[in-house]
Copies of this chain bind each other. A is one copy, B any other.
């Protein structure tokens, strides 16, 4: 149940966004739905029962990993300032720490953007009109502490049923065109193609095939312009009580945007209004092939955030289990 209108984001900001945005926002808003103190949003929809049912879908034990390697030659190109690819260095290499003749230790350290590779966005990754999820002030994100509310470290676990909506394969394409917005109709088509019904608590993976550009060596072509979710899809996810959504693009949603001047509206709808985390740069290529082969588009999905206190994102190494 959404909060009364006067508490939703559109009233608090000085610069209202596009009217269509606010109209959708009102329809999908989840503020207060799980209480005023809630920090988890739609992850509340992953109940014990959902997890039990998800585990029950495991039939073969086959596993498919969905993360890109974490390395300097990653998907970031410098387009997003400060979002640096992982820089991995050794602090010790075969160091005989206990003296000559003892065993030797190698240790390492990394510097990386939390949103640099295959990742989850935490809810406070985006604010609009001065608000983050559940109506909290955006000022609760600070340099010293990061996100005081709904930081990635507040998510204790993320195991559920995963559903692949293979939009590209459903259309018989290797990948969508850069200016293809994934619409609610596309999602319906992909669900029908996969003979799968999205249910409450599901984590939905939407495949555009765009990551094939990066895997093929075209880092710049991968990021921009890019196909992605349409501003009309949040209502589709909201209607089905989806717990989280991830896809295989850098920007998640179509970019440049559908409505002139309205950048990243899907981020604002998912993260701020619905309180639904979202994932980017997921490698769904092998999963697409396996789903087609297994003729199954649902599976047990483990996709644990790393619990960074105050983090607005996290690398994740998801695994689908069939």
Point out residues on A near B: beta carbons under 8 Å. 13-17, 47-53, 55-56, 58-65, 67-72, 78, 80-84, 86-95, 97-98, 100-115, 124-128, 138-139, 141-144, 146-147, 153, 156-159, 261-265, 267-268, 272, 300, 302, 304-313, 315, 317-319, 321
Contact = CB atoms under 8 A, between A and B. Distances in A.
Copies of this chain per assembly: 4
A128 B143 contact: no
B107 A110 contact: no
Contact of A48 (B55, B60, B90, B127): B60
A55 B61 contact: yes
Contacts of A104: 126-128, 138
Given A55-B321, A59-B52, A309-B71, A83 B65 contact: no
A109 B125 contact: no
A128 B107 contact: no
B311 A307 contact: no
A271 to B, nearest CB: 9
Given A49-B61, A65-B157, A71-B308, 10 more contacts: A52-B61, A86-B308, A89-B91, A92-B143, A102-B264, A103-B263, A105-B126, A108-B113, A305-B317, A306-B315
A83 B108 CA distance: 7
6 contacts: A56-B58, A90-B143, A91-B144, A103-B263, A305-B317, A307-B317
Contact of A87 (B82, B100, B101, B124): B82
A106 B124 contact: yes
Contact of A310 (B88, B138, B146): B88
A141 B104 CA distance: 12
A119 to B, nearest CB: 11
Contacts of A70: 153, 306-309, 311
Nearest to A53: B61
A164 B311 CA distance: 30
A143 B143 contact: yes
A268 B97 CA distance: 13
A236 B40 CA distance: 42
A294 to B, nearest CB: 12
Contacts of A267: 103, 105
Given A89-B109, A106-B127, A300-B55, A307 B15 contact: no
A67 B268 contact: no
Contact of A114 (B68, B108, B158, B318): B108
A65 to B, nearest CB: 4
Contacts of A100: 15
A109 B123 CA distance: 16
A103 B264 contact: yes
